[in-house]
Amino acid sequence: MSSLTAPSAPGAIGSPIQPAALLDYLGQLDSWLGGRRAELDALDAEILNAGQQAALTPDMALSLALWQSVKNRYDLLLVTWDSGRVGPAETERMASLIWGRLDTSGSQVAQLSGMAVSLPEACRLSDALAAQLRSRLNLDPTIEAQANRLRDLKAQLERIRDQLQLEPAAARTSALTTAQQLALRLGTWSRSGNAAAMSAVCSGRWRSRLPASNGT
């Protein structure tokens, strides 16, 4: 599951923003809203499938409420934008809508109703919450990539063990001991998620510790 990053907001509160910058931001924010909603729907389904409703529903409820608050502010921005028919007063109003506090007082999610956040802050918080949910569901792209790498390494180590059976008896015992040590280290790296160590293994440098197999 890929991650999304909220767009950078232009301008500052109390100052008009150039229409071109506003148009670009509105387009990026629209894409972000669509992508984040689809991601939240997928995460909600994963929570149900994993049977983790009790543990993760509060974070999901906050994420959905936060998304709705951002969407409401986006809709106000679109009304003010009025298909580009804006002057200094309208662009200054849009700057206030972007950088001013979101109206979260009516939210039924207690965590959100007590927050005082601007639109950019709400988007960044949404990014962080989504990343946290992905991580707790083991859906983080980095975690998935490391898991795939570990599976490849384990398969490679098994192939080397098979090849070692072809080694002369005098060298086989020492080589099998080395392979067993590497298997133990691989298990340790698997539990710790040590990406740097796994990358070193993937480079193949550790294979120099084993004698060349007859099949290679």
pLDDT digits (tens, 9 = 90+) for 185-202: 767 666 555 544 444 444
Report which of 60, 88, 93, 63 is spatially closest to residue 78, judged by C-alpha positions.
93
pLDDT computed for residue 143 by the predictor: 52
pLDDT computed for residue 134 by the predictor: 86
Q: Decide which of 111 and 199 is more confident.
A: 111
Single pTM value for the model = 0.64
Average pLDDT, the chain: 80
CB crowding 66-87: b at 16 or more within 10 Å, else e:
bbebbeebbeebeebbeeeebe
DSSP state of 118: B
pLDDT digits (tens, 9 = 90+) for 11-21: 988 888 999 99
pLDDT of 90 strictly over 50:
yes
Cα distance between residue 186 and residue 24, in whole Å: 47
Q: Decide which of 186 and 54 is more confident.
A: 54
